[in-house]
Amino acid sequence: MSSMMFYQDLVPLNDKAHADLRVSTISSYGFAARSNSVPVLAGEFAECAREFPIVFGGQPGSVVPAALLGLRDGENLFVDPQGNWLARYTPAFIRRYPFALGTGDTGQMLVCIDQTARCLTTTAGEALFVEGAPSAALQRTMAFLREFQSAAVATAGLTQRIEVLGLLREADSLAQLRDGSEFRLSGLRVIDESRLNALDDEAVLDLVKSGAMKLIYAHLISLGNLAPLMDRLSTRLSAQSVPVAKAPLKKRAAATT
């Protein structure tokens, strides 16, 4: 899972090159329309579990929890053709756009922006710099990015606990849509409940005290959202297959003399 995903042209924010830049509230989530999953933080599991299936992606040793937003590559079922966000909750990974934290040549953290973002202009929104210094809006963004980074590190620690205990298994199941068509979900990992139940008391206590057990149960509950997600896909496929009705031709009035 790429850490940049829908960021297209990420560059460090500069008080000289971007002195006149302004940011507006995001009015379209079209930038995320092709992302079928996004990473989620430990503190978001409870909210995300109400709407999205939470799965585990990434490579062994660097497993990342993610909210599943679509069932096909390049398709987010929670963004409509007009760019509207169709869920009650928006994951922090999406909310931080068009900003992100990067690392400089000497290891320092840099605030970066996606130069292609439509919400960044020189004509509308809140200024990012005032007389060469970060504006109040930019300071709020920087605080959010620092909190996000700190939470991501904490989440990685909890996920590592789950992985080390061998609780993850490949999710390889057959999904059936309302029209009877089928496709296979693969390449993702989920908690194996039988392995969880087989843990000794010491391991269970560690999961509880570390906070990882809360994530595990939120994840297991969230898998109930797979069926509604399949329904979303069925609805979208049905809408795409409906031919556009042509307006009837109006009869030309007879000429009078």
pLDDT of residue 2: 52
Closest to 108 in 3D by CA, of 149, 152, 138, 158: 149
Q: How many angstroms separate the CA atoms of 210 and 213, rounded? A: 8
**pTM, rounded to two decimals:** 0.88
Contact of 226 with 175, CB cutoff 8 Å: yes
What is the number of other CB atoms lying within 10 angstroms of the CB of residue 257? 2
Per-residue pLDDT reduced to its tens digit, 116-125: 999 999 999 9
Higher pLDDT, 221 or 58: 221
pLDDT of residue 243: 54
Q: Is the dihedral of CA 218, 223, 227, 231 positive or negative?
A: positive
Q: Does the pLDDT at position 244 exceed 70?
A: no
Per-residue pLDDT reduced to its tens digit, 164-206: 999 999 987 666 777 777 767 777 899 999 999 999 999 999 9
pLDDT of residue 237: 87
pLDDT of residue 28: 96
* Percent share of the chain, pLDDT over 70: 91
Per-residue pLDDT reduced to its tens digit, 196-226: 999 999 999 999 999 999 999 999 999 999 9
In this prediction, residues 213-241 reach a mean pLDDT of 92
Contact of 88 with 51, CB cutoff 8 Å: yes
Per-residue pLDDT reduced to its tens digit, 93-115: 999 999 999 888 888 889 999 99
Per-residue pLDDT reduced to its tens digit, 71-98: 988 999 999 999 999 999 999 999 999 9
Q: How many angstroms separate the CA atoms of 2 and 58, rounded? A: 9
According to DSSP, the residues that pair with 65 across neighbouring strands are: 56
Pairing of strands 22-23, 99-103: unpaired
In this prediction, residues 23-28 reach a mean pLDDT of 95
According to DSSP, the residues that pair with 176 across neighbouring strands are: 182
Q: How many angstroms separate the CA atoms of 116 and 46, rounded? A: 32
